[in-house]
Amino acid sequence: MNKGLSTTAFNFTNQSKVYHGKVRDVYTVDAWLVMVASDRISAFDHILPKAIPFKGQVLNQIAALFLESTKDIVPNWVAAVPDPNVTIGRNCDAFRVEMVIRGYLSGHAWREYKAGKRTICGVEMPEGMKENDRFPTPIITPATKAEEGHDEDISREEIIRQGIVAESDYLQLEDYTRKLFQRGTEMAAERGLILVDTKYEFGKVGDTIYLIDEIHTPDSSRYFYADGYQDRQNRGEKQRQLSKEFVREWLIENGFQGLEGQSMPEMPDEFVETVSERYIELYETIIGKKFIKADYTNINQRIENHVEQCLLKLSNSNN
């Protein structure tokens, strides 16, 4: 079985810095960021021991589609997508919050609700809801963006009080977040899916706010199948979903939630293959086209060649 792209160690021309994140490796080259989507997978803020073949390509190509499809709402950071696993774009000064928006009571919000909490990030949640019920109106539940460790829930009031984001900028981020979620919801519905929740990240260059990173991918979003959603809710059954939540559920079943003293379980090859297939399924469902697996033969050389050629073109176009 293909082992996937687990690590990168490029040294591009004029490269000044590299940041290895949980999933993506970000190289700074002149005024550009070269974001390489690896096949690593993380859950509960831990990187799992095995890479998921084609996951990086899936994430990168879905994000490219949605970024292109939302640039009438907010400008984004993308300059080029020169390789199935790579996006190159503006080096923005990132805001230190993730704008999480939830249309349904699922995942983290449900775990908080089940524990008896009725407020999350300063936002009240109605009484009497069941897991995966739809909120009357989507709620925004921001999280601080941690360099290491867990991102933490935070309220709009605290973000502004602590000066993490200026009030005028934050209100703009909320407006963009709601409009992007509405667009994502409409695009998902066209493909028979429900966009349950997602997150957006933003940055700034001068006075302009840009949408950055990836959007509407299975790493940053949760999708349900629309067909049969209400019947499953009425019967109290689990929803059919396309997201990373099934990986978290597998980890929980195997005694791991990222808590102190817990050990990461071994990942059988069969499970890795299942995860890969689920990512490809989401791509084909939401894009509406067959997924074309990129060639993994000399993948590092492939990426390096595509990036160097693209950076040269970008440099020449700016001169």
Residue 218 banded pLDDT, cuts 50, 70, 90: confident
- Which of 159, 191, 150, 193 lies closest to 177, judged by CA? 159
What is the structure's pLDDT at 150?
A: 62
Structure token pair of residue 317: 């176009």
Q: Is the dihedral of CA 310, 312, 316, 319 positive or negative?
A: positive
pLDDT in tens, 109-149: 999 999 999 999 999 999 999 999 999 999 999 999 765 55
pLDDT in tens, 139-154: 999 999 765 556 799 9
The mean predicted confidence, pLDDT, of the chain is 94
What is the structure's pLDDT at 147?
A: 59
d(CA 53, CA 73): 33
| pTM of the predicted structure, to 2 decimals | 0.89
d(CA 101, CA 30): 33
Residue 104 banded pLDDT, cuts 50, 70, 90: very high
Which of helix, strand or coil describes residue 228?
coil
Please, which residues bridge with residue 42 across strands? Answer: 47
Between vectors from CA 252 to CA 251 and to CA 254, what angle results, nearest 5°? 65
What is the structure's pLDDT at 45?
A: 83
Query: Within its chain, how far is the Cα of 65 from the centroid?
Result: 14
- Cβ neighbourhood burial of 67 (10 Å; 0-12, 13-18, 19+): buried
Query: Within its chain, how far is the Cα of 4 from the centroid?
Result: 19
End-to-end CA distance of the chain: 45
- Which of 152, 232, 251, 239 lies closest to 196, judged by CA? 239
**Residue found under tokens 């073109």:** 313
Query: How far from 211 is each of 30, 58, 306, CA to CA, in Å?
Result: 20, 19, 24
d(CA 311, CA 204): 22
Report the largest interatomic distance among the alpha carbons of the chain, rounded to a whole angstrom: 63
Instruction: Specify whether the CB–CB gap between 286 and 193 falls below 8 A.
Output: yes
How is residue 295 annotated by DSSP? P
Return the minimum-mean-pLDDT range out of 45-49, 85-89, 161-165, 203-207.
45-49
Which secondary-structure segment (H or E) carries 138? strand 134-140
- Output the DSSP codes for 74-127: S-BSEEEEEETTEEEEE--EE-SEEEEEEEES-HHHHHHHHTT--EETTEE--T
pLDDT at 230 over 90: yes
Instruction: Specify whether the CB–CB gap between 195 and 188 falls below 8 A.
Output: yes
pLDDT at 27 over 90: yes
For the chain, list the domains and their CATH numbers.
Answer: 15-93+247-318 (3.30.200.20), 96-242 (3.30.470.20)
